[in-house]
Amino acid sequence: MNLISFLKENKENILKKWFKYVSETYQTNTSNFLINKKDPFANPVGSAIMKGLSAILDAVCGLVDKKELPPFIDPVIRIRAVQSFSPSESIGFILFLKDIIREKFYKERNKENFIKELLAIETQIDEIIFIAFGIYTECREKINDIKANELKDRTYKAFERAGLVDKTDKVLQ
């Protein structure tokens, strides 16, 4: 059996383990909530994470084109980008898949073509990391724009209250 076939056949177990790893990047209370609340309406973050992971695994298995991933992984990246995660933590959860695959296939390492297949899969995961980083960068830029606009609005309103600008946006001298 080749690696891709094994991934397809074991998709549910791989996703369950991967989801657990991702959930554990959050604080204990949040992690427990993400893992234990199965209802997508009660746990929209957990649902978004699972959809993103599933789409990534499908892309690695060749079932989904990587170009179709952004709508699935964008919510996961966006959630992590606005939280207190560093850039590497925001997208690093994708790399957990490499660890899971290596762990699952450790006993297969001596089989013919295993290394070649593993490297091909890991290359695909690396390509997905680049997609995720692009999404993360866009999210952070948007957050910075929002913060800058809020600061500009607060400053303008303070100047307006102080009588330093008039309604036509002219600075008074």
Query: Cβ distance 132 to 66 under 8 Å?
Result: no
165 - beta bridge partners? 171
Q: Which residues pair with 171 in a beta bridge?
A: 165
pLDDT of residue 105: 76
Q: Where are the domains of the chain?
A: 3-161
pLDDT score at 75? 94
- What is the pLDDT, as a whole number, of residue 115? 81
User: Locate tokens 């002219």: which residue?
Assistant: 170
Under-70 pLDDT residues of the chain: 107-112, 167-173
- The b-or-e profile of 130-153 (16+ CB within 10 A means b, else e) is ebbbebbeebeeeeeeeeeeeeee
**Which amino acid is present at 161?**
R
Dihedral pair phi/psi, residue 165, rounded to 5°:
-135, 155
Reading the block at residue 106, the tokens are 């450790």
For Cα atoms 104, 110, 112, give the angle at the middle one, nearest 5 degrees: 105
> For residue 99, how many other CB atoms are within 10 A of its CB?
12
Q: Choose among 121, 130, 89: nearest CA to 102.
A: 121
Q: pLDDT at position 107, please?
A: 67
Q: What does 39-95 look like in DSSP terms, one character per residue?
A: -TTT-HHHHHHHHHHHHHHHHHTTSS-GGG-HHHHHHHHHHHHHTT--HHHHHHGGG
Measured at the alpha carbon of residue 59, what is the angle toward residues 124 and 73, in degrees to the nearest 5? 100
pLDDT score of 22: 96
| Residue 158 parent element (H or E) | helix 114-161
